[in-house]
Chain A
Amino acid sequence: GAGVSQSPRYKVAKRGQDVALRCDPISGHVSLFWYQQALGQGPEFLTYFQNEAQLDKSGLPSDRFFAERPEGSVSTLKIQRTQQEDSAVYLCASSLGLAGGGEQYFGPGTRLTVT
C-alpha cells in the first residue's frame, strides 16, 4: 500500500523566501509528526498533530515556522523568510494510533537548501 509521501523532494530557496512543504500520511493514521534533520545530526522533533489538532509545537525553532493539518490528513509545514540555518531535511512521519511509543512510518523527506 501507499506509504507516507512528501513533496517536493528537493527545494532550493533564496534567503528571505517563503516555502511550503507537504506531507501525505498513510490513510487513516491519526498521528502526524514533523522532524528536522540538520547535516550530520539525527532528526529533531518539530511538531505533532493528533488528527487536525496540533498538540505539541514545542520543537518549532522560531515563529517563522508554522504547521497545519486542517482536515486531519495532509499536513503542510511552512517556513517564512527562510534563513540559511533552515537548510535541512524535513521528515514527516505518521502512526496509526495515539503514538504511545508505537511505530512511526516516515516519508522520504524534503531536502531544503537556502542560498
Chain B
Amino acid sequence: ILNVEQSPQSLHVQEGDSTNFTCSFPSSNFYALHWYRWETAKSPEALFVMTLNGDEKKKGRISATLNTKEGYSYLYIKGSQPEDSATYLCAFVYWNNNAGNMLTFGGGTRLMVKP
C-alpha cells in the first residue's frame, strides 16, 4: 500500500498572504508527482507534473518543488487570492513495467482565502 500524505488538511489565510503545503510520498520506485487543484463542483485541474529530482515548476503565483530522494514536494502560493480557494491534491505515480500508471492521491489540502 502506497502512503501519500498531505499537510495540513485545511488552511485558512487572508487575501495577500503567501502559503505553502506539503506532500510526502514513497522515495522508492518514483516515476512522477502530480499536483491538482479541485474547486467545488468543477473538474480537478492539473497544475504540475513533476518527474525530476530538484525540479521546480511555476505557473503564475503558484510554484512547486520536488525532492524524490527524501520523498516530498512543496506547493507554494504567493499573494493568495479568494479565487485560489480550492482543494489541492498531490498524486504519486510509481514506476512499474505495465502501462497505465494510476495516480495514488493524498488526502488533499483544503485552502480557504478570506477577502
Contacts and interface: CB of A to CB of B under 8 A. Distances in A.
A31 B43 CA distance: 18
Interface residues of A, number: 30
A91 B46 contact: no
Interface string A40-58: 1111110010100001100
Contacts of A91: 44
Max chain B Cβ within 10 angstroms of own Cβ: one of A42, A43, A98: A42
A107 interface: yes
B108 A103 contact: no
Given A48-B100, A56-B100, A99-B99, A42 B46 contact: no
Contact of A43 (B6, B100, B105): B105
Dominant secondary structure at the A interface: loop
A101 interface: yes
B107 A41 contact: yes
Contacts of B103: 33, 35, 43, 45, 93, 104
How large, as a class, is the contact surface on chain B? Answer: 20 to 34
A1 interface: no
Nearest to A37: B105
Interface string A1-34: 0011000000000000000000000000001010
Contacts of A4: 43
B61 to A, nearest CB: 20
A44 B99 CA distance: 18
Interface in A57-87: 59
B104 interface: yes
Q: Which 5 A-B pairs have the closest CB atoms?
A: A101-B32, A42-B105, A98-B99, A45-B102, A48-B100
Given A31-B100, A43-B103, 10 more contacts: A40-B107, A42-B6, A42-B106, A48-B100, A56-B98, A99-B99, A99-B100, A101-B32, A102-B32, A108-B41
21 contacts: A42-B6, A42-B105, A42-B107, A45-B102, A48-B102, A50-B99, A56-B102, A93-B103, A99-B100, A99-B101, A101-B101, A102-B32, A103-B34, A103-B46, A103-B49, A104-B34, A105-B46, A108-B41, A108-B42, A108-B43, A109-B43
